[in-house]
Amino acid sequence: MEAWLVLMFHTRKKTPLLPAAWAPLLMFSVLELLEPTLAQAQEANAPAAENGAATTIQDQINSGFEGIVKILAGLLFYEVPLGFGGHSAPFILLVLIFGGIFFTLRFGFINLRLFRHSIDVIRGKYDRPEDEGEITHFQALTSAL
């Protein structure tokens, strides 16, 4: 009992009782201990949701957005007749095609003019080891995509 009180109220020691490097391990251990409990809680709620007795927050959100999603899906995936041979295409596909053509013309064929530059960035031509930062140009490019 006395050792417990000393550990609890000991404030002169500068080093913490639990090293900071152990914190992730401790957190992982606690989460691993709680995992079976969380899984059982999910399984217990599953039959109630199937019977319609209790709805989850996710079901309430889904039912709230269901009407909006149906309207947007009907608009975006509306089949636009192309006028030849009975062919049609979804509206969203036509928006993407015309948007790509518009921005290619508007920016002066930048996707073709700077293609060589993009290859140089990928190859690492502009990387210098003495530059500050943790990521390379290639890593920045791939994370942006």
Q: Give the number of residues written for the chain.
A: 145
Whole-prediction pTM: 0.48
pLDDT at 15 > cutoff 60: no
Q: Assign 132 to helix, strand or coil.
A: coil
CA angle 6, 9, 14 (to 5 degrees): 95
3-state DSSP of 74-128: HHHCCEEECCCCCCEEEHHHHHHHHHHHHHHHHCCCHHHHCHHHHHHHHHCCCCC
In whole angstroms, what is the distance from residue 45 CA to residue 89 CA? 43
How many alpha carbons fall within 13 Å on the CB side of residue 142?
Answer: 9
Other residues' Cβ atoms within 10 Å of the Cβ of residue 73: 11
Instruction: Give pLDDT, residue 21.
Output: 65
Task: Using DSSP, state whether 17 is helix, strand or coil.
Answer: coil
Domain boundaries, the chain: 1-54
Question: Which pLDDT tens digit goes with each residue over 46-102?
Answer: 555 555 555 789 998 999 999 999 999 999 999 999 887 888 999 999 999 999 999
